[in-house]
């Protein structure tokens, strides 16, 4: 009998991020929108999602170390918690994939409940990139058991009107 580990459950933060990304993809699918439009819309959807999380809504900060950060502040406006950090990179060519990995490297040292990497690739490159990212997580000396990473790969392989994000959750062993 093989021992198959259970799949981790998505946290409320991860579900809120997935909902925001899916809402964005439904709104922009088939419009041939530029990368900047996608990024702006994702940030807007995440801002709304972060404000509605309970029991503690998050303040969304964009382009503060990461493309998106969900944080909680105390009454003195000092950071008390980081719920989520997200990096978003759309490049698909060789230079673009370098930028994807560069942005991912920033997530390795983030201390947040969930780290999110949004990128696009064709199916085979997406799978290869996920494998490489997971290997980097395992090899990073500061990785702690239970560190959570949500990967959202905009799969460019299907026809334009059938494209969607492929999600994978990785929890560090």
What CATH code is carried by the domain that includes residue 111? Answer: 3.40.91
> Tens digit of pLDDT for each residue in 62-110?
998 999 999 999 999 999 999 999 999 987 766 668 889 999 999 999 9
Q: What's the pLDDT at 40? A: 96
Where is mean pLDDT largest: 4-8, 56-60, 72-76, 93-97?
A: 72-76
pLDDT at 159 over 80: no
Q: Is residue 127 part of a domain?
A: yes
Q: Does the N-terminal peptide bond of residue 73 adopt cis geometry, omega within 30 degrees of 0? A: no
Q: Is residue 3 part of a domain?
A: no
In this prediction, residue 24 has a pLDDT band, given cuts at 50, 70 and 90, of very high
pLDDT at 171 over 90: yes
Q: Is residue 67 part of a domain?
A: yes
Q: Is residue 4 part of a domain?
A: no
CA atoms within 13 Å, Cβ hemisphere of 153: 23
> Tens digit of pLDDT for each residue in 108-148?
999 999 999 999 988 888 889 999 999 999 999 999 999 99
H/E stretch holding 102 reads helix 94-108
Range of the domain at 115: 12-171
Q: What's the pLDDT at 156? A: 79
Q: What's the pLDDT at 1? A: 42
Q: Which residues contact 172 (CB under 8 A, 6 or more apart)?
A: 137, 138, 143, 144, 145, 146, 147, 148, 149
The structure tokens listed for 156 are 């460019």
Domain count, the chain: 1
Q: What's the pLDDT at 7? A: 61
CA torsion sign for 67, 70, 75, 81 is negative
């Amino acid at each position: 009998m093989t021992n198959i580990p259970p799949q981790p459950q998505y946290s409320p933060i991860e579900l809120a991020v997935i909902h925001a990304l899916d809402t964005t993809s439904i709104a922009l699918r088939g419009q041939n929108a530029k990368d900047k439009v996608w990024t702006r819309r994702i940030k807007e959807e995440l801002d709304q999602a972060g404000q509605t999380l309970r029991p503690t809504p998050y303040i969304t900060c964009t382009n503060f170390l990461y493309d998106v950060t969900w944080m909680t502040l105390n009454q003195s406006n000092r950071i008390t918690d980081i719920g989520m950090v997200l990096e978003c990179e759309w490049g698909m060519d060789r230079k673009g994939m370098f930028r994807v990995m560069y942005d991912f490297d920033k997530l390795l040292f983030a201390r947040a409940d969930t780290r999110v990497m949004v990128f696009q690739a064709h199916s085979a490159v997406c799978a290869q990139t996920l494998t490489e990212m997971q290997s980097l997580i395992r090899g990073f000396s500061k990785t702690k058991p239970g560190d959570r990473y949500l990967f959202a790969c905009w799969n460019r392989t299907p026809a334009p009107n059938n494209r969607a994000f492929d999600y994978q959750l990785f929890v560090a062993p």
